[in-house]
Amino acid sequence: MIDSRETAPGAAHRDMYLNDAGQVVREWSLDGPLSAAIPGTPAALHHLAEHYGQLPLKVTLAPAISHAREGFLVSPRYQRFSQFRLAALRASPAAAKIFLHENEVPELNSLIIQTDLANTLERIAREGREGFYRGPVAQMMVDAVQLDGGIWTLEDLANYQLVERQPIHAQIGDFTITSAALPSAGGILLVSMLKQLELLGYQHANPQQQHHYLAEVMRRAYRDRNLYLGDADFVGIPEHLTTQAHAQQQITDIDHYQASNSEQMWDAFATKGQDTTHFSIIDAEGNRVAATLSINYPFGSGYVAAGTGVLLNDEMDDFSVQPGTANAYELVSESANAIEPHKRPLSSMTPTFIENDSRVAILGTPGGSRIISMVLQGALAFMEGDNAQGMVSRSRLHHQFLPDRIQLESPGFSTSAAADLRQRGHTVHVLNRQFGNMQVVVRDKRSGLTEAASDPRGEGSSAVLFQTVADADQ
């Protein structure tokens, strides 16, 4: 696993988003350059090209450079997101010049051109990571950030390092799971929930019972996320969270017919990602990639470093700004995820492989705090024999321990399904929309047949450019 998660700047500290009265000022961790962690994606692109790819960056970055220089058309989704982040974009003249039209949401099908970004990408294509973390681009970013209230330094950029980590591995029945390790909570929670569901007999339950079980195992897994998880390079993480024994302990207080109460489960330890992207890829030789990357909120911090075209993230909001307080995705975490210099914030990104002797699936999705629960439901669909299109199309529910409620997509769940959950004691919030943008590739290991599907909820697309034949004699 290539961990190119952002890191906190060297001047970051635990109380940096608290006012003089000790109260959290949420805008400070969401908007503008103070909310931005040190980016890792350019380092990852360089590392992949140097150590794993067969193509140089000047080839792999060419499509992105073309999109930036020639522009892309404004869609209804773009309009919704830019309206949502209008104030933050307006606060950054460089961002407003690129992403707005006369300081307003651009008209449908108007063109968004990013000339400065194209120049920055061309420099990275020529110079690799040095073209971003040192030299003119780095200097322009630091100058802009510091001028506008941020705390980046040239040393923060020059010293950024990615880490190669062992991914999370688990065996669930006949299926092998490979998923993201910390600082992403995704793999740990995914394995924990799958093991709990296996012990509960999920696959043999009726649909109403399955909905109840899903909510209950999500509740317990997200409680573990809140209590224990953070950057393992900085804090000690319990080793038992993915074990069978822990899954067995987790389900001991699940009532098969009645909802649990999250507040009552908040034990003695205790005192939303919409601008995320996922790619699922497999090549003719069977090499596979599940890649999730993010700038957190729609349009990240809303801030562009003048002259670079680089739209900064607001990943600092993924830290626990104050123990027990919720972030933009209503996730609550404790001191394990507190802000420290050079630390990586806890993530929900869950790029995943699932395979048995017959098939392999590569999947992942954007979606903030819902990413892990969505990948869980996609994994279950695959394990039940679904194809790629079925995996991305399945209706989704979500529970994250706090707030204590189930979110149901609409359309997707019948009135009777919601009523059954309420009768069991669940608080049910039926959304007036669907969520997620899952991207899936499935290959049959015996025939070599490959299928790909892009979530109908999003704007992505899928393509199968070749079909392999498993038998080399054919």
- For residue 333, pLDDT beyond 70: no
Q: Which of 276, 350, 365, 450 is catalytic?
A: 276
- For residue 120, pLDDT beyond 60: yes
Q: What confidence category does residue 471 fall into, taking pLDDT thresholds of 50, 70 and 90?
A: very low
Q: What confidence category does residue 474 fall into, taking pLDDT thresholds of 50, 70 and 90?
A: very low
Q: Which contiguous run of DSSP H or E holds residue 441?
A: strand 439-444
Concerning whether 276 is annotated as a catalytic residue, the answer is: yes
User: What letter represents residue 308's amino acid?
Assistant: T
For residue 76, the model assigns a pLDDT of 94
Tens of pLDDT, residues 70-118: 999 999 999 999 999 999 999 999 999 999 999 999 999 999 999 999 9
Residue 34: closest CA among 140, 141, 159, 145: 145
Q: Which of 259-263, 267-271, 282-286 has the lowest mean pLDDT?
A: 267-271
Q: What confidence category does residue 473 fall into, taking pLDDT thresholds of 50, 70 and 90?
A: very low
Q: What confidence category does residue 272 fall into, taking pLDDT thresholds of 50, 70 and 90?
A: very low
Mean pLDDT of 302-313: 98
Tens of pLDDT, residues 407-431: 999 999 999 999 999 999 999 999 9
For residue 31, the model assigns a pLDDT of 98
The rounded distance, in Å, linking the Cα atoms of 157 and 8 is 11
For residue 332, the model assigns a pLDDT of 67
Rg (CA), the chain: 22
Share of the chain above pLDDT 70, in %: 95
Mean pLDDT of 109-133: 98
For residue 273, the model assigns a pLDDT of 45
For residue 297, the model assigns a pLDDT of 93
For residue 466, the model assigns a pLDDT of 83
The rounded distance, in Å, linking the Cα atoms of 179 and 282 is 16
Q: What confidence category does residue 321 fall into, taking pLDDT thresholds of 50, 70 and 90?
A: confident
Write down the architecture of domain 164-474 according to CATH. Answer: 4-Layer Sandwich (3.60)
For residue 323, the model assigns a pLDDT of 73
- DSSP lists the bridge partners of residue 414 as none
For residue 270, the model assigns a pLDDT of 34
The rounded distance, in Å, linking the Cα atoms of 195 and 247 is 6
Mean pLDDT of 36-61: 97
Residue 150: closest CA among 323, 375, 313, 388: 313
For residue 269, the model assigns a pLDDT of 33
In whole numbers, what is the pLDDT of the chain averaged over residues? Answer: 94
Q: Where are the domains of the chain?
A: 2-163, 164-474
Tens of pLDDT, residues 356-367: 999 999 999 999
Share of the chain above pLDDT 90, in %: 91
**Higher per-residue pLDDT: 88 or 273:** 88
Structure tokens at 270: 């205790």
For residue 322, the model assigns a pLDDT of 82
Structure tokens at 246: 């822990």
Mean pLDDT of 268-292: 78
Tens of pLDDT, residues 149-161: 999 999 999 999 9
Q: Which of 141-150, 243-252, 318-327, 366-375 has the lowest mean pLDDT?
A: 318-327
Mean pLDDT of 368-387: 97
Q: Which of 91-95, 109-113, 203-207, 274-278 has the lowest mean pLDDT?
A: 274-278
Residues 6+ apart with CB under 8 A from 205: 213
For residue 387, the model assigns a pLDDT of 98
For residue 86, the model assigns a pLDDT of 98
User: What letter represents residue 382's amino acid?
Assistant: F
Q: How many CB atoms lie within 10 A of CB 177?
A: 22
Mean pLDDT of 304-328: 89
